[in-house]
Amino acid sequence: MAAKKVGILGATGTVGQRFILLLSEHPIFTIHALGASSRSAGKEYKDAVRWKQSKPIPDNVKNMIVKPCEAELFADCDVVFSGLDADVAGDIEMAMLKKDIAVFSNAKNYRRDPIVPLIVPTVNSDHFDLIPHQRSVHNLKKGFLITNANCSTTGLVVPLKALQDAFGPLSHVIVNTQQAISGAGYPGVPSLDILDNIVPHIGGEEEKMEWEVGKILGGVSENKNGFNLLENTIVSATCTRVPVLDGHFETVSVKFANDCPSVEDVCKALENYSSEAEKLQCHSAPAQPIVVTYDADRPQPRLDRENLKGQTVTVGRVRKCPVLDIKFVLLVHNTLLGAAGSSVLNAEIAVAKGLI
Amino acid sequence: MAAKKVGILGATGTVGQRFILLLSEHPIFTIHALGASSRSAGKEYKDAVRWKQSKPIPDNVKNMIVKPCEAELFADCDVVFSGLDADVAGDIEMAMLKKDIAVFSNAKNYRRDPIVPLIVPTVNSDHFDLIPHQRSVHNLKKGFLITNANCSTTGLVVPLKALQDAFGPLSHVIVNTQQAISGAGYPGVPSLDILDNIVPHIGGEEEKMEWEVGKILGGVSENKNGFNLLENTIVSATCTRVPVLDGHFETVSVKFANDCPSVEDVCKALENYSSEAEKLQCHSAPAQPIVVTYDADRPQPRLDRENLKGQTVTVGRVRKCPVLDIKFVLLVHNTLLGAAGSSVLNAEIAVAKGLI
Amino acid sequence: MAAKKVGILGATGTVGQRFILLLSEHPIFTIHALGASSRSAGKEYKDAVRWKQSKPIPDNVKNMIVKPCEAELFADCDVVFSGLDADVAGDIEMAMLKKDIAVFSNAKNYRRDPIVPLIVPTVNSDHFDLIPHQRSVHNLKKGFLITNANCSTTGLVVPLKALQDAFGPLSHVIVNTQQAISGAGYPGVPSLDILDNIVPHIGGEEEKMEWEVGKILGGVSENKNGFNLLENTIVSATCTRVPVLDGHFETVSVKFANDCPSVEDVCKALENYSSEAEKLQCHSAPAQPIVVTYDADRPQPRLDRENLKGQTVTVGRVRKCPVLDIKFVLLVHNTLLGAAGSSVLNAEIAVAKGLI
Amino acid sequence: MAAKKVGILGATGTVGQRFILLLSEHPIFTIHALGASSRSAGKEYKDAVRWKQSKPIPDNVKNMIVKPCEAELFADCDVVFSGLDADVAGDIEMAMLKKDIAVFSNAKNYRRDPIVPLIVPTVNSDHFDLIPHQRSVHNLKKGFLITNANCSTTGLVVPLKALQDAFGPLSHVIVNTQQAISGAGYPGVPSLDILDNIVPHIGGEEEKMEWEVGKILGGVSENKNGFNLLENTIVSATCTRVPVLDGHFETVSVKFANDCPSVEDVCKALENYSSEAEKLQCHSAPAQPIVVTYDADRPQPRLDRENLKGQTVTVGRVRKCPVLDIKFVLLVHNTLLGAAGSSVLNAEIAVAKGLI
């Protein structure tokens, strides 16, 4: 199979930089075009970007000329990954879609669109079933638009899905996040705000978490033209920013609609959970969507965020919750599975399903 | 009134250092004796201590000779404050008590003792009513033993008490803590564990929080010889350590046994809450036991931990909880109101009540 | 003496906030006017500012209406303190000066001006002698313009002055700085750049340090109409940014033009150094311009930056340098003595000298 | 060639953990024995260690039984790497040597021994020439003892050697270090000492740097039975600890005995420098011993410490020093090239030279 040509929108941003690292040596994708704002367009990538990764800029990308994010300039791409900010993502991604391009977006703009799948790759890849309907609505042959979830939502829904599959619906979820600074991009969080400090507010984040869970854990409608949002799983989120570079940490309490399973059964269900991404043998699929730790003081961001190349969710401290049923803590790499890693794996799934 | 002579046990430790700063210029207490381990005993304080405060050692303490923590050496103290570690606090504090000394302990050892009050000064100073009974049991004239609460419990119970007073019992509480490193003493948390990291476990902390709330928010029995532990308020705690120097931050969701009040009424109840400590005009009583902030991103440890000299609890982001009733975040200075500051205020209350 | 009315330019910035804290309860100055950019003008201060101090906004300032920085709006001020950014400070400060106002600037714009004194208050308050000449040039009656030094320069010149006074000229100085993030203002240094990191470059800082020393440590010309820049003291600076909130730390090696004194004599000279600011009994003058520490691991930013209210320079680890003569480390509070604190003390000196 | 069996002493410590990561998949070494204190001996490695690396414990090491550090238990090892603390390293390493084992030590104990080479692998691998003499003194057939340098010394001597080779002897060097916390091992630096702080003292570090340079940059005596210490290169060091996890950062000023070369020539000399380790095609030799950066704000610990797998020294900001001749900054990974990485590369060189 010939490598698929990919474009990266918002290529100079934090998520864009992760896309470049993930795709520069990818077995089925090859970086073909880079898009960024007009300030960067026309420059070589190495001159346009403020590179903030600990690995250097890949050689095959350094001298690529950055383009403006105009759809016609990406028309020869098989796939476009978007790390654009929400204030520009809406128009640009729609223009790309209308050019019949397969678009994988990290932005929030279309997550609530009733015909756009919101896919966490190790959770609800069955939502790709809606693509034929989406294409017919937009009158497309090969293009489509997929979004991935908010980084904190992503970490949460993987274990929730495992629990829902094993024990039936969850009635209530209370989640608290301690989110890494890389989630805010660059320049992002001022150091004066976060050294020796916690910021107990991230604009819009709690609302996203409370809503997105219902779309992701819900199903596709019978005739594949819409989504059945979960209505009986209530989520309450509190989101904070902490002085950690990478890795969102979350504490979670859940209540089951049915009987509460034992801690042992919960651990077993989390460990045994597997997703379609592994079955399709996708390159970026983790060996396990969930790693369960039994050490009392794990997971920790610095030690566990790179687990399974940052594509798994690490769950620990599973125990009874005196108020709801079960509580646990989790860690997700916010710019890998929580952002660029989800998009890339979603695209691999789409290729495996013959959609690209 | 002549100044009361006070002794400080564990004077070289983190809590001991705070005691010294709080008491070196106190209007009714004067530092009379310092106790520490045999390693420090016999040395001048300045040579025995590894001082880690940003204010210098007070001049009137620098050259005091540290004593071993033997009861007879503190017999001429009116009050003894204990910042001892739990592994030695039990025996030493009991020996002091038996010498008829008034002992205010920060250690966990006697918190669950059925005749020892566990007092957060702005919450349950009525628990001093048990002292006559305690004295009769131990056959004492002027001595008694009071403990204050775990630092994280302390931050939590102040707003819970305000809510309980205003709206009746709470049925359920879910609390998550993000605790400062100073809570672990010195050397305490290794920097390799906490820089760019979160540690999701603090030994025994969750159990303390879940249990202590019931004693503190419960009442004294009718004949003043025991405590009525709250049985119908269920608490679920998850405790984590974060890279913050001072100030424990907590996110809280509560459910009321009765109808849920409005957010406005909750804010009003928190703001209007006052305690006996203010009414008694104690020196260290905060002007308000609770400060409510309305900025979306407050309280923050670095900006708010010194509010009202670290003796208040700052509450923010009061809002509806989709799962329980109301959620909010709070901040408490863990070594001031959360430790030494509680002890000192408790002792001031005891003086005001004529117990010392 | 009636309180002098002061205006604060750049009142919403990091330095401006420090000015407000220093001046809100000042015995001889009273805050009369606040100036900021057109974005803030017309708003109440509390709504215009993003307050980042651990002490709250003083009540007497909260509701003051912020003005644009136009000279006529500050004409009734006796003194204007400027915390303006360099890109606007030049024009605005000159306009204020021409309105016959006494201006104390933190900006770099006029530091190299041949008739503007560059004064570190505990070092070269004799440079006020040039004011009559400056007034005559600008045709002023009561106005004048004084700048204070770069924050890192300020920390360095205090001990250099003490050594120069005691042992004659220094021929060579090598200095390395480790500078706090608050020196960069707000939003300033992105957290992604500084958590778990060092940034080995601060634009223009090394040049400022290498040049400013020569003006500050030089004298006023005999007829009081210019400055004699030191030409035989060569300075080499390397400046870095580190993850510390407040307090610039510097390591220094010096070579004397004459014989090298003993370490003991150097310590004595530093400890015994005193300045005109103390002799004039200025409110903000530190009891000692230099505090010498003898502990092997001091000074440390977190423990020593508040020494003598942040108006002193703490020097430690004085010892022989195998390459030059003597080496030591020092700490200066970058927003107190290193910025707003210098300006305020300079103004107090000017009042004491009858210039205001 | 059959893989060489290696033992690791101090296997549970910070340096020991790095040895394990470096050696678990090594082409010519295979981990054969692990040694640690009696507290760990007898346990499986995974139970004995507090693993603090972001990569998990290699599977082939997890269940190895840790041994006490007794020489007879390591007699079947071809090589022993020692990450022991200095208080026990002296006796244990000597016992291993007397068992005719090739010992590569990270400890300071034998660095000043007149017949023990002190080798930084990309600097002075010619010091292996002394091994025949060492063997004859100790009456050994295949054993010998090599130490590597202090971590900060290691970063410094690589560029110094390049400059010395290109431009002749250096007469003076002034170096300031900003050292990472991982250099102090675990538990190491208490977080209360280093969050929002700098500690300006690391016991013995400055003396090590000032002395070790002279041995490493000096030559082997003509008859290969001793070392000619450099006497005319004077080094002055100031060492500080900063809140960075990995990567020692240093600022350096040097003076040449001969004429000062141009900045361009210095950069060229640094970039073109190569060592015997590359020529011998050793597995762990970096492609370049020195990477030169030309960005004004590089190197930075977080972004550059992994350059060339942590086996290179990154040098930046090369420019004229107004006091000495040339100044620059550098970064070295303190637990890779600065510790375990040097030992492993030294052992690879020894194999290539036929000494093992």
For residue C157, the domain's CATH number is 3.30.360.10
Residues paired with residue C118 on neighbouring β-strands, in sequence order: C147
B303/A242 CB distance under 8 A: no
**Do B195 and D193 count as a contact with CB atoms less than 8 A apart?**
no
Nearest-neighbour CA in chain D from C51: distance (Å)? 20
C306 in B contact zone (CB under 8 Å): yes
Residue of B69, B248, B267, B333 marked active site: B248
Asked if B198 has any chain D CB less than 8 Å from its own CB, the reply is: no
**Residue-by-residue DSSP string for A47-95:** HH-----SSPPPHHHHTPBPEE--GGGGTT-SEEEE---HHHHHHHHHH
Active site residue ranges of A: 151, 248
B280 touches chain D (CB under 8 A): no
Is D191's CB within 8 Å of B52's CB? no
Same-domain pairing of D304 and D199: yes
Is A317 close to B176, i.e. CB distance below 8 A?
no
Q: Is C319 in the D-facing interface, judged by CB distances under 8 Å?
A: no
Kindly report the nearest CA distance between residue A316 and chain C, in angstroms.
26
Check: CB of residue B33 under 8 Å from CB of residue B99.
Answer: no
Helix locations, A168-246, DSSP H? 191-194, 205-216
Contacts with B186 from chain D: Cβ below 8 Å = 190, 192
Residue of D192, D196, D243 with shortest CB distance to B188: D192
Check CB contact under 8 Å for A193 and C193: no
Q: Is A173 on the interface with B (CB under 8 A)?
A: yes
- Cβ of D54 within 8 Å of Cβ of A302? The answer is yes
Q: Report the C-alpha gap between B248 and B301 in whole angstroms.
A: 7
Is B302:B275 a contact under the CB 8 Å cutoff?
Answer: no
Q: How far is CA A307 from CA A155, A181, D129, in A?
A: 13, 19, 44
User: What is the rounded average pLDDT of the residues D337-341?
Assistant: 97
- What is the rounded CA–CA span in Å between residue C175 and residue D296? 19
Q: Give the closest-approach CA distance of A281 to chain B in angstroms.
A: 33
Active-site residue, D127 included: no
Q: For residues C356 and C143, give the distance between their C-alpha atoms in angstroms, rounded to a whole number.
A: 8
Strand order in the sheet with A144-147: A67-68, A29-36, A4-9, A79-82, A102-105, A144-147
Regarding whether A181 and A118 lie in a shared domain, the answer is no
Name the catalytic one among C151, C239, C267, C282.
C151
**In this structure, are D312 and D200 located in the same domain?**
yes
Q: Which residue, among A31, A20, A4, has the nearest Cα to A351 in the 3D structure?
A: A4
- Portion 12-51 of C in contact with D at CB < 8 A: none
The chains in contact with chain C, meaning 3 or more Cβ pairs closer than 8 Å, are: A, B, D
Give the chain C residue whose CA is nearest to the CA of D301. Answer: C197
Q: Looking at beta carbons, which residues of chain B come within 8 Å of A319?
A: none
Tokens representing residue B231 in the block: 């049985």
Q: Looking at the predicted structure, is the pLDDT value of residue B242 above 90?
A: yes
As a whole number of angstroms, the distance between CA A202 and CA B296 comes to: 9
**Cα dist. D226→D134, D220, D231 in Å?**
9, 6, 15
User: CA separation (Å) from A242 to A299, B248, C8?
Assistant: 16, 13, 34
The mean pLDDT of A169-175, rounded to a whole number, is 98
Query: Buried b vs exposed e over A22-34: b needs ≥16 C-beta within 10 Å?
Result: bbbebebbbbbbb
A349 and A200 assigned to the same domain: no
The mean per-residue pLDDT over the stretch A16-40 comes to 96
Residue with tokens 């070790």: D212
How many Å apart are CA C209 and CA C250, to the nearest integer?
A: 12
User: What pLDDT was estimated at residue A2?
Assistant: 80
List the single residue in C52, C192, C245 with the smallest CB-CB distance to A196: C245
Distance CA B191, CA D188 (A): 7
pLDDT, mean of residues D240-269 = 98
D251:C176 CB<8 A: yes
On whether any CB of chain A is under 8 Å from the CB of D127, the answer is no
C-alpha distance across the termini of chain C, in Å: 12
Q: Are C134 and C116 in contact (CB under 8 A)?
A: yes
Q: Does A224 touch chain C (CB under 8 A)?
A: no
Query: Do both A160 and A262 map to the same domain?
Result: yes
Whether the CA torsion D128, D131, D132, D133 is positive or negative: it is positive
Q: For chain C, how big is the Rg over CA atoms in Å?
A: 20
A48-104 pLDDT per residue, tens: 999 989 888 999 999 999 999 999 999 999 999 999 999 999 999 999 999 999 999
For residue C195, which residues of chain A lie inside 8 Å, CB to CB?
A: 181, 191, 194-195, 243-245
Please tell me the total count of domains within chain B.
Answer: 2
What is chain D's Cα-based Rg? Answer: 20
- pLDDT at B300 > cutoff 80: yes
pLDDT at A54: 85
Q: What is the CATH number of the domain that holds B79?
A: 3.40.50.720
Strands B227-228 and B219-220: antiparallel
Q: Is the bond preceding residue A187 a cis peptide, omega within 30 degrees?
A: yes
The distance of A119 to chain C (nearest Cα, Å) reads 28
Q: Following DSSP, what letter does each residue of B183-246 receive, concatenated?
A: GG-SS-SBHHHHTT--B---TTHHHHHHHHHHHHSSEE-TTSSSEE---S-EEEEEEEE-S-SS
Average pLDDT over residues D269-273: 98
| Residue in C236, C297, C322 closest to D236 by CB | C322
Residue range B34-60: average pLDDT?
94
Per the structure, the complete domain to which residue C116 belongs is given by 4-150+340-353
Backbone torsions φ then ψ of C227, nearest 5 degrees? -120, 140
Helix axes D205-216, D151-167, angle to 10 degrees: 40
B302 touches chain A (CB under 8 A): yes
Q: Does the structure's ipTM exceed the value 0.85? A: yes
On whether any CB of chain A is under 8 Å from the CB of C243, the answer is yes
pTM: 0.97
pLDDT tens track for D134-179: 999 999 999 999 999 999 999 999 999 999 999 999 999 999 999 9
| Chain B partners within 8 Å of A179 (Cβ) | none
C250 and C182 in one domain?
yes
My answer on whether B66 and B99 are in the same domain is yes
Q: Mean pLDDT across the stretch D194-211?
A: 98
Q: What SS3 state is found at D227? A: strand
pLDDT in tens, D45-82: 999 999 989 888 999 999 999 999 999 999 999 999 99
**pLDDT above 80 (res A1):** no
Chain C residue with minimum CA distance to D170: C323
Picking from A236, A243, A249, the nearest residue to B253 by CB comes out as: A236
Chain B interface includes A65 (CB < 8 A): no
CB D237, CB D206: distance < 8 Å: yes
Q: Hey, are the CB atoms on A186 and C194 less than 8 Å from each other?
A: no
CA distance C49 to chain A (A): 15
Same domain, residue pair C110 and C186: no
- 3-state class of C8 per DSSP? strand
Chain D closest-CA separation from residue A305 CA (Å): 8
Question: With contact defined as beta carbons under 8 Å apart, do B277 and B345 qualify?
Answer: yes
Does residue A47 have a pLDDT over 90?
A: yes
Query: In this complex, how many residue pairs, one in chain A and one in chain C, have their CB atoms less than 8 Å apart?
Result: 62
Mutate to test the interface with D, among C172, C175, C196 (most CBs of D within 10 A): C196
Let me know if B248 is a catalytic residue: yes
Q: How much is the pLDDT for D1?
A: 66
Strands C326-332 and C313-320: antiparallel
**CA–CA separation, C295 and C297 (whole Å):** 6
| pLDDT of res. C299 | 98
Per-residue pLDDT at D29: 98
3-state class percentages of chain D: helix first, strand second, coil last, to nearest 5 = 35, 25, 40
Residue A330 is predicted with a pLDDT of 98
Out of B196, B235, B324, name the one closest to residue A322 (CB).
B235
Q: Are residues D68 and D199 in the same domain?
A: no
Considering the domain architecture, whether residues D93 and D180 belong to the same structural domain is answered as: no
Residue D216 corresponds to which tokens in the numbers above? 């490493």
Place of tokens 């932005």: A107
Name the token pair of C336: 């107190």
Same domain for D181 and D78, yes or no, is no
Closest CA to D211 of D115, D113, D126: D113
Instruction: Tell me: pLDDT of D225 over 90.
Output: yes
Q: Please, what is the average pLDDT of chain D?
A: 97
Reported confidence tier of residue A221, pLDDT bands at 50, 70, 90: very high
Q: Residue A316 CB: number of other CB atoms within 10 A?
A: 22
pLDDT by residue, tens only, chain C of 356 residues: 689 999 999 999 989 999 999 999 999 999 999 999 999 999 999 999 999 898 889 999 999 999 999 999 999 999 999 999 999 999 999 999 999 999 999 999 999 999 999 999 999 999 999 999 999 999 999 999 999 999 999 999 999 999 999 999 999 999 999 999 999 999 999 999 999 999 999 999 999 999 999 999 999 999 999 999 999 999 999 999 999 999 999 999 999 999 999 999 999 999 999 999 999 999 999 999 999 999 999 999 999 999 999 999 999 999 999 999 999 999 999 999 999 999 999 999 999 999 99
**What is the pLDDT at residue C27?**
96
**Which of D51, D192, D241 is most worth mutating to test chain B (most B CB atoms within 10 A of its CB)?**
D192
In a shared domain, residues A125 and A195: no
**Across chain B, what does the average pLDDT equal?**
97
Q: Is D195 on the interface with B (CB under 8 A)?
A: yes
For range A270-275, the mean pLDDT: 98
Q: Do C53 and B306 touch (CB under 8 A)?
A: no
Taking alpha carbons only, the member of C52, C15, C54, C20 closest to residue C34 is C20
Q: What's the whole-number mean pLDDT along residues A211-230?
A: 97
pLDDT of residue D54: 85
Nearest Cβ partner for A196 among D55, D195, D307: D195
Question: Is A192 an 8 Å CB contact of chain C?
Answer: yes
- Find, among B151, B13, B180, the residue nearest to B81 by Cα: B13
A54–D302 CB contact, under 8 Å: yes
Element (H, E) at B82: strand B79-82
